[in-house]
Amino acid sequence: MLIVGIGGTLREGSSCEAALRIALAEAERCGAATVCFAGPQLVLPMYDPADSARAPTAAALIAALRAADGVVLASPGYHGSISGLVKNALDYAEDMARDARVYLDGLPIGCVATAYGPQAASGTLATLRAVAHGLRGWPTGYGAAVIARTGLFADGGCTDPAIDDQLRLVGRQVADAAKRRARAA
């Protein structure tokens, strides 16, 4: 079982990437293998459907999505929505439009938004869930809208137990849904 994580920012140690990695760690604890595309791995050429050549990182992202049993998406709230970095990475899923499994059809997708205010966090979470639907995925029942603050993430963990639990719930729901989907197949 493979869970693919996509998200973060270009800032090393960003709260968004930290949140994504906590959700993925929980998916691993539930028995999944994970791969994370974050930060510098998301520096991709702008998606161009007319150009079939793909940078190595973009090709790796597409290959991972094709093999995925579940996905965790995480974005910072930039001006009330997802970042261009995350959106461009997700645009590469268009290369899967003619696959046997179109886009992320039927896959559980966990969503995590981080922002410095509740309006941006909730708006970004809603956008991530809409993108998950647009890619034919099934957003998990719980999505985490995290209000970031200085000191919230340290040493690969979350200093707020309630938020840590929320992020782990996202990872657990993706892993559990992927297991149920595999048993039903």
Q: pLDDT (tens digit, 9 = 90+) per residue, 91-114?
A: 999 999 999 999 999 999 999 999
What confidence score (pLDDT) does residue 62 get? 98
Q: What is the pTM of this model?
A: 0.96
pLDDT in tens, 108-152: 999 999 999 999 999 999 999 999 999 999 999 999 999 999 999
Predicted local confidence at residue 156, as pLDDT? 87
Contacts of 158 (CB under 8 A, 6+ apart): 18, 19, 22, 152, 164, 167
Cα end-to-end span (Å), the chain: 13
Read off the pLDDT of residues 30-69 as tens digits, 9 standing for 90 and up. Answer: 999 999 999 889 999 999 999 989 999 999 999 999 999 9
**pLDDT reported for residue 159:** 96
> pLDDT tier at 153 (50, 70, 90 boundaries)?
very high
Q: Which residue has the higher pLDDT, 87 or 39?
A: 87
List phi, psi (to 5°) of 110. Answer: -90, 145
The pLDDT assigned to 119 comes to 93
Q: Using the predicted structure, report yes or no on whether residue 71 has a pLDDT greater than 90.
A: yes
CATH for the stretch 2-184: 3.40.50.360
> What is the predicted pLDDT for the residue at 12?
80
Q: What is the mean pLDDT of the chain?
A: 96
Distance of CA 185 to the CA centre of its chain: 24
